[in-house]
């Protein structure tokens, strides 16, 4: 863990390290600052650096911030096996336990929101005080008889096909709806698009492909019922990747202690596109 004598940017000395899971996979993480621990879980196909705006902001405001790269993503180990939501949650538990975190706040974006939810479903809330789900996939993305507002399997089959055919070009194309760059009047940032592509290409093709079924088909309904801690949901109502109707709108009804903040006209990648507002809402929730 980093030790710092003040919350100023100049006093924050970042460190990087890894923890090793039960199957020998190294999970890479960053751990900055001190204070109440805030643990970030990223979306697909990104890595912990997708949270850099929130990590810097909260570290400068007196919080300990930790972000890991999911197995197969970023700088973590890239095994052939273990690309399963239960394993992602267990990897997160390995990190939380290894750092002996207490009273932590878990924050998940997109697939990371599923990871946080499944973590609590499998490991409980003994080490967790609050949770934040941002543009998150629960309760289930796939359309089923019990989830008629979900997306059809054809949508996810097309994602798989894109990854297998030319994932480099696919990630460049996906960045546009991810950040709402394809909407009228949008001013795309080439830097943001390039960063999305770079992080996506650092994910192994095995994990990039296998994770699609995990974020789309996993049913988190039972896990949400176990989230008895205060939970904040933040979602854009123009999310083209995880539409709000079948995700946050349903999750807020299933969670025991939840509040939903809707960002009007906002896309999926709001930790980047709306970082100032996300930072402010996170800080308010942490202080509440």
Active site residues: 110, 239, 268
CA distance 162 to 156: 10
| SS3 sequence of the chain | CCCCCCCCHHHCCCEEEEEECCCCCEEEEEEECCCCEEEEECCCCCCHHHHHHHHHHHHHCCCEEEEECCCCCCCCCCCCCCCCHHHHHHHHHHHHHHCCCCCEEEEEECHHHHHHHHHHHHHCCCCEEEEEEECCCCCCCECECCECCCECHHHHHHHHHHHHHHHHHHHHHHHHHHCCCCCCCCCCCHHHHHHHHHHHHCCCHHHHHHHHHHHHHCCCHHHHHCCCCCEEEEEECCCCCCCHHHCHHHHHHHCCCEEEEEECCCCCCHHHHCHHHHHHHHHHHHHC
| 36: number of Cβ within 10 Å | 19
Sign of the CA dihedral running 135, 138, 143, 147: negative
């Amino acid at each position: 863990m980093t030790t710092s004598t003040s919350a100023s940017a100049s006093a924050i000395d970042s460190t990087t390290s890894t923890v090793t899971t039960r199957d020998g996979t190294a999970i890479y993480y960053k751990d900055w600052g001190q204070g109440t621990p805030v643990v970030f879980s990223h979306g697909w196909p990104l890595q912990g650096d997708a949270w850099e705006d929130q990590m810097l902001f909260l570290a400068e405001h007196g919080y300990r911030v930790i972000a890991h790269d999911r197995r197969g993503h970023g700088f973590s180990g890239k095994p052939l096996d273990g690309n399963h939501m239960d394993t992602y949650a267990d990897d997160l538990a390995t990190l939380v336990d290894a750092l002996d975190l207490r009273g932590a706040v878990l924050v998940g974006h997109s697939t990371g929101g599923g990871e946080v939810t499944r973590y609590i479903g499998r490991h409980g809330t003994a080490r967790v005080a609050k949770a934040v789900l941002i543009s998150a996939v629960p309760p289930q993305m796939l359309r089923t008889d019990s989830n008629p507002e979900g997306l059809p399997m054809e949508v996810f089959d097309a994602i798989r096909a894109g990854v297998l055919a030319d994932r480099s070009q696919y990630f460049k194309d996906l960045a546009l709806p991810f950040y709402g760059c394809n909407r009228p009047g949008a001013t795309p940032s080439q830097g943001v698009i390039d960063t999305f592509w770079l992080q996506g290409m650092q994910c192994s093709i095995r994990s990039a492909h296998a994770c699609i079924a995990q974020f789309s088909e996993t049913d988190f309904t039972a896990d949400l019922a176990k989230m008895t801690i205060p939970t904040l949901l933040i979602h854009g109502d123009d999310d083209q990747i995880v539409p709000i109707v079948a995700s946050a709108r349903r999750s807020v009804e299933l969670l025991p202690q939840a509040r939903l903040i809707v960002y009007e006209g906002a896309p999926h990648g709001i930790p980047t596109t709306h970082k100032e507002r996300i930072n402010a809402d996170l800080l308010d929730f942490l202080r509440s």
